[in-house]
Structure 1
Amino acid sequence: MNALELPVIRDPRVEHADIAAWLQSLGGPVWLILEGEDTRRCRVVTTLLHGNEPSGTLALHRWLMSGPRPRTRLAVLLANVHGALSHPLFTHRHTVDGRDLNRCFRAPFEGPSGALARAIAHDLAALVPELVVDLHNTSGNGPAFAVATRRHPVIEALAGRFCERLVVTDLRLGSLMELPHEMPALADCPVFTLECGGALQPEAREVAEGLFRLLSDCLDPAALSSIPYLEVLVHPLRVELRPGASVVYAREPRPGVDLTLWARIDEHNRGVTQPDARLGWLGERGVACLTARDGLGRERVDELLEARDGRLHARRPLRLFMATTNSEIARSDCLFYAVSAVSEGSLR
């Protein structure tokens, strides 16, 4: 293993039962490295790329308190420690003067967030991992799911242990899971995101804790058997506001607003959204206030959504995910992702 750019704590021991005190003691972005039984192999878990997504950190803290000894070397990154510690705890996606770290993993790596992303990418290559799992919470409440940029047996075997859905995307946003396409050193490494569920859902921490236990106990993730049903959905579209468009969340339409989304639209993160379901209300611009471009840059919003008597509806049965009720995230990131309810493939 080559030298790492970020600080390293080897074989960490938790001395603070209070999560905030523990994070303060870390001082900032840091690698926690547990040597394990087989030091020739390394697995990586990254978490806290977003400071308001705590499940991975809470699970890690609890797991470390048990004094684990993993089967292989395990390197765990706590990335946006400063964002997580911004008051109130675990409510800020990033610091006030920062950028969304999970949009910075590609050139030109501008500003402090870009520099941190570049250091993380360098360290991942230096660790020579056989697997990278990036832990997140969903922006709204909903079930756990996995996201990857390609299909891979290790990804599918692990994802099938913790969720029922794997989304394979060709969108390129500058996220950590895209690094195998950017860095030859990681080209063959299975990298995927595990969205554990909403930040306030107890089940989300259980998913993250399960991942740490599995990576600690299992020597070969590719050999996992008895994988439950895993639905694989490919090429989701990212539904965003057009520049200058406005959005609010309410139970009735708001005048003078381009889009009023249903106050509990995150309920659509489960199951299939049928065309008769009302997603919200549209202003004078109609669906023109929205955009959904595919991986080739083609506009596809009219294939997904339509206006009916001033209301927003799905044009066909869709699976929605990452639907948020946070207007700040809706404006700065996206409203939700959508894909046809007909899956492209599945595993049993």
Structure 2
Amino acid sequence: MSSTLSSTLPVLVDPPVDHHDVVAWLASLDGPTWIELSGIDDQRCRVITTLLHGNEPSGLLALHRWLAERPRPQTRLAVLVANVEAALASPVLTRRIAPAGRDLNRCFRPPWADASGVLAQAIARDIVARCPECVIDVHNTSGDGPAFAVATHRDPHVEALASHFCDRLIVTDFRLGSLMELPFTHPFPPGCPVFTLECGGAMQPASVEVAIEAYRQLAEWQDVTGLEADPALEVLVHPLRVELAPGASLDYARTPQPGMDVTLWSRIDACNQGVTMPNVCLGWLGRRGLTTLQARDARGEDRIRQLLCERGGGLYPRHPLRLFMATTHVEIARSDCLFYAVPADEAHGVTDF
């Protein structure tokens, strides 16, 4: 069934879930598709996007399960299932980007000449056309770990919403072309909170529960602007992206690998929880040492030596750190980053680098 709302991408309004198997249901969609649920108040709309990365399925799994409950939201609720092509590429639900495509969550800024850029433009137009009260972009982390939210600036509305889904909010000043940056380039309603919800690792059952709770609460709340933030929410600001230097080699193992510039501990994603102390070995460096890593801030300054150090060939935090998005996937680490980090400040719950 098509919606009367003007939309660039296909729309299904109040669709039945005809497939018990989520992959069969995904394959029945005509590419990127809006799943739109009628609300008690249809003049207002809230937006959730999911599956921008084909290997981050928790938002999709939660949506499939939640739709079977036949929910009736307080407002119109529009859910975008975005990167269907990447998700269906064999082996299913394992490929971050579509074949011959780009990372869709880096395409919400120019250039838009290729298929990924065209799709990002279409998504942006459709979100703006809905005049949303809020926009939540649902993802999985690239390694195992707890759920957290990411925003582009401090905003009490974002903090209030995020604190109902997770215990930590990351405020980043990096501009990478992600969906949550759209309010900087498009006419969004004033005060509309936009943020990313990282539900945890793709293989963690708890990640689906985080996502389904986001659907339920966003559907059930009568007013998203009157929510109060949980005072226990931890806010970390201005994280650094730890990346490989150009041309550096990488592996994951329990011991240093011969010929590798960087060998990260094979379970470094365990550091996504809590504080990582300076005595924790994150991995090992080759003969070129720290020159094979970089941690540039939003101004382009390399801060790697303020963040990490080498001791006896091992890679260690220079001081207590909170790590997140630490991955054990070599290709993701090479193409994106190894992890993000901020200095820990448990006394205040807010850290600024």
For the superposition of Structure 1 and Structure 2, which TM-score range results when normalised by the shorter chain?
A: over 0.9
The separation in 1 between residues aligned to 2:274 and 2:136, in whole angstroms, is 25
Q: Deviations over 1:212-251 (max 9, x none)?
A: 1101111112323572510000000001101111110000
Q: Bigger CA drift: 176-185 or 303-312?
A: 176-185
Asked whether the 8 Å contact 2:133–2:189 carries over to 1, the reply is no
Residue 194 (structure 2) pairs with residue 191 (structure 1): yes
Q: Offset of 1:153 from its aligned partner?
A: 2.1
Name structure 1 gaps, 5 residues minimum.
Answer: none
The separation in 1 between residues aligned to 2:307 and 2:279, in whole angstroms, is 13
Paired position in structure 1 for 2:165: 162
Q: Deviations over 1:188-223 (max 9, x none)?
A: 421000000000101100000101110111111232
The separation in 2 between residues aligned to 1:26 and 1:128, in whole angstroms, is 24
Paired position in structure 2 for 1:177: 180
Residue 101 (structure 2) pairs with residue 98 (structure 1): yes
Asked whether the 8 Å contact 2:149–2:166 carries over to 1, the reply is yes
Q: Show structure 1 runs of 4+ deviating over 4 A.
A: none
The separation in 2 between residues aligned to 1:49 and 1:226, in whole angstroms, is 27
Q: Offset of 1:2 from its aligned partner?
A: 6.1
The separation in 1 between residues aligned to 2:178 and 2:123, in whole angstroms, is 12
Equivalent positions of 1:41-52 (< 5 A) are 41-52=44-55
Which one has a larger percent helix, Structure 1 or Structure 2? 1
TM-score by length of 2: 0.95
Q: 1:53 is matched with which residue: 53, 56, 59?
A: 56
The separation in 2 between residues aligned to 1:168 and 1:90, in whole angstroms, is 28
Q: 1:345 is matched with which residue: 337, 347, 350?
A: 350
Q: 1:2 to 1:226 in 2, by over 3 A?
A: closer
The separation in 2 between residues aligned to 1:218 and 1:279, in whole angstroms, is 42
TM-score by length of 1: 0.96
Residue 17 (structure 2) pairs with residue 14 (structure 1): yes
Q: 1:275 is matched with which residue: 253, 269, 278?
A: 278
SS at match of 2:102: coil
CA RMSD of aligned residues (A): 1.4
Q: 1:203 is matched with which residue: 195, 202, 206?
A: 206
Query: Aligned AA for 2:260?
Result: V
Paired position in structure 2 for 1:265: 268
Q: 1:2 to 1:63 in 2, by over 3 A?
A: closer
Paired position in structure 2 for 1:236: 239
Paired position in structure 2 for 1:218: 221
Paired position in structure 2 for 1:294: 297
Percent identity at matched positions?
62
Count the aligned residue pairs. 346
